Structures are given as structure tokens and as C-alpha cells.
Amino acid sequence: MSEFTNFESAPEQSPQTRQYARAQKTRNRNGLLVFLIIFCLIAGIVLAVGVNNLTTEKATFGQMEATPEAIPTATPYLELGGTAPDITSFDNPVVAIAQNMNSAVVGVRTSVAAFEVGLPLQEVDYAYGSGFVVSKDGYIVTNHHVIADADRYTVILSDGTEYEAELIGSDTYSDIAVLKIDATDEDLTVSPIGDSDSVLVGELAVAIGSPLGEYLSNTVTVGYISAVNRDLDGSTFLQTDAAINPGNSGGPLMNSKGEVIGINALKAYLAGFDEYGIPIATEGIGFAIPINAAMEVVEQIISTGWVERPGIEISYYPMTSDDAYIWDVPFGALVDEVTPGGPADIAGIRVNDIITAVNSEDLEDPEALPDMIKDAGVGAKVTLSVWRETEKKRMDIDVTVGDLNALD
């Protein structure tokens, strides 16, 4: 088995994870992801005074750093992304990439207020990660877990210039955060944005970031794309063997053109144990969030400070046809948990209900239920066809889709 690590604090998992019909529990029950621990990784070393212990906690599904009341007004259209460097040496394009794009990569240092009896309030360093510039007016993209739980954010450019940054918004589900610094466009190099959908296995992969902290800032590591569309805990990643270490999190993964194709976020660190119980470390197994998906979130955060996530607040077990045959029940999505006070609970959905259709469309693949809810959109009323075992009958229940990030 492999385990994945996050090298700093992440938000605490709530007892009732707010899922819009996610099928995570099913995969656990079917043994497909048994013992797989996913943490939003690689932000950096926790730099608290006298502390070098690294913690790992899974981010709460759908939780935002901002609150609905704090959503800023929409901003005008903003052009994101810069121009790719002019690369003439195709035998080794990494030199040109490093020379041209190092200045687009930044360090992200966070700090927290510390209380100590008998002393005034102090600010201490909390964590260190990476990020990259996406606009001339100072928008910076990084991972959510780089900035999670911090009180203050500092962006360090490649020349050592430091800026206090404003947190525009942060989304735990996608592990994306956006900061903004007050800098002139002459001071900034904007990262060119590539197309992660066109990435192929075997392509060159260049990671730039600050492994092990600020003193190794703008380190360049090189490898290849090991896999695309790698599914981990319901999210899709690019897999690379380019060296990624604590502090790289939030930094860019680039292609041979110097374009950002991913955001470094995860690293496998444990392959298992040998016959004596000694841990076996992994090598060259890192993961990056595909840039196409990431930029959709970035644009929403910049525009509204918020990422809308349609959901009805249930978790469920995707049944197989064999399950339905053995239990002599209709085929569909078996409701495993209903969040009290959520849209499904208000509408009357109960644990052990089997959802068989959405808006009269048969649920031929229970794994598709989240997408069907998402496609309906926040505020839409969807009709769920439900089989209720206790009453031995089918019924239609109207549920109003909510925004998971706005729900208590």
C-alpha cells in the first residue's frame, strides 16, 4: 500500500463530511482504497518555534476559508496567465525554463499569533510552501493546505523581496487558494498556463519550488509524467517522478514549453512494510492538481471569493447489480448518511433509502449521482426517485440543491 502525507496542519475533518452524494464510503467498503490515507501534501516544514513535528489531517470536504457573508463583489474580467518562454534548445529545455520561469515562482510563508503567559502577543512562523504568479496585478496561486489555519501570509519573490499578502479565497475540496500582493507588473513574471488535458504519459515534467523551506527556494527538479487521470480519493491528479518534497506544495509543475500543467500537491511516502515491520519508503511518486481544473477554481475565487459546490448533504453506497439481486431491492444508490438540517434531510430522505433516478432519469451508474446533482446547480429542485425498504414502495421526493460551502 502507499500512503500520502501532508507536512503541515490541515483543517480538521468534521464528524459528518458534507458530501454531495460522494461514493467514497463505497470504495472503502469494497476494499478498493482500504488504508489509503490522503492528505493535501507538501506545503512545507512547520516552522513554529522549537517545533519541527509535522502533522497530517485530512481536509474537510467542501469547507471554505471565507464565509458567505464575506464574499467580495465580483471583479471585472481579468486575464490570467503569461507568455511561455522562447525555448530554442529542445535537447535540454529545462535551462531556458529555469532562467525564464524561476521568477514566476514564489515562496509562501505563513505565521500565527502565539500566546505565552507573561509575554505580549507574538507572531511566529507556522509553515512554508510555494506558489506562482498568474496575473500582472499580483494574484498568486498556491495550495489550500499551505495557508490553512494561518493568520498572516507573506509572499517572497525570487529576488528576496517580501510582500504581505491578502487571502482572496481558499477551497479545501480542490486544495486551491488565491493570494494577492500589491506589486507592480514590472516586479512580476506571470506564469504561462498550459493545457493539462493534452498532457501525455512520458512528457517532460519540471517542478519549481522551495523543498525543505525558504533556504532552498526556487529549486528545480526534473522528471516525467508517470500517469494522467490518477484517481485518489475521488480527485484526479497528474503523477510525476520529478522530485517533490516538503515545501514544494503549491508550486508549479511545468511542461517542456515552460507552461504550468499542474500544481504540486501530494507525495507518496510509504509503500508498506518489510517482513520485519520496517517501513519501506517510496521514490518518485508525486502528484499534481491538473491546471485546467485548478484554474476553474482560481477564476471563481478571484471573481467572487467563493467556490459554489452544489450538493444535498448525503453520503451513499453505490450498489452493484449483484447487491440488488442478493438483497432483492432495486438497483441504485443506497443512502448511508444524511446530514441533519441539510437539503436531503429537510426534503425527507432517510438512511437506507435507495435512490434509483434523478428527474426521471434512471441512475444506471450510482457513481454518476454527484455529477447529476452538480449539473442541476445550486438552488435547483431535483426529483429523486426513492425506494424505501421500510414501506416497501417507491416515492418521488423533491430536494432543493444547496451550496455545500454555505451550509452549516
200 and 261 both lie in a single domain: yes
296 and 331 both lie in a single domain: no
Q: Which structural domain range is residue 345 located in?
A: 310-403
Catalytic residue among 9, 111, 135, 145: 145
Instruction: Give the helix ranges, DSSP H, for 237-338.
Output: 291-304, 321-327
Closest CA to 260 of 66, 104, 395: 104
pLDDT in tens, 341-397: 999 999 999 999 999 999 999 999 999 999 999 999 999 999 999 999 888 889 999
How far is CA 359 from each of CA 312, 315, 316, 380, 383, rounded to the nearest angstrom? 15, 19, 18, 11, 5
Question: Where is the domain boundary, 304, 327, 355?
Answer: 304
Confidence band (pLDDT; 50, 70, 90) for 296? Answer: very high
256 and 318 both lie in a single domain: no
Closest CA to 169 of 317, 301, 5: 301
**Would you call 249 a catalytic residue per the annotation?**
yes
pLDDT in tens, 265-277: 988 876 677 788 7
111 and 203 both lie in a single domain: yes
Q: Distance between CA 384 and CA 366 in Å, rounded?
A: 13
319 and 273 both lie in a single domain: no
pLDDT tops 80 at residue 232: yes
Q: What is the pTM of this model?
A: 0.70
pLDDT, position 264: 95
Q: Domain for residue 408, yes or no?
A: no
299 and 365 both lie in a single domain: no
284 and 338 both lie in a single domain: no
Closest CA to 289 of 256, 259, 251, 242: 251
Longest alpha-carbon distance in the chain = 71
Q: Domain for residue 99, yes or no?
A: yes
pLDDT tops 90 at residue 138: yes
pLDDT in tens, 234-267: 789 999 999 998 899 999 999 999 999 999 998 8
Catalytic residue among 217, 249, 315, 385: 249
Return the CATH number at 39: 2.40.10.120
297 and 323 both lie in a single domain: no
94 and 236 both lie in a single domain: yes
pLDDT in tens, 325-343: 999 999 999 999 999 999 9
**Would you call 145 a catalytic residue per the annotation?**
yes
**Would you call 144 a catalytic residue per the annotation?**
no
Closest CA to 38 of 318, 244, 268, 250: 268
Catalytic residue among 125, 171, 175, 233: 175
pLDDT, position 116: 72
191 and 249 both lie in a single domain: yes
Return the CATH number at 320: 2.30.42.10
375 and 264 both lie in a single domain: no
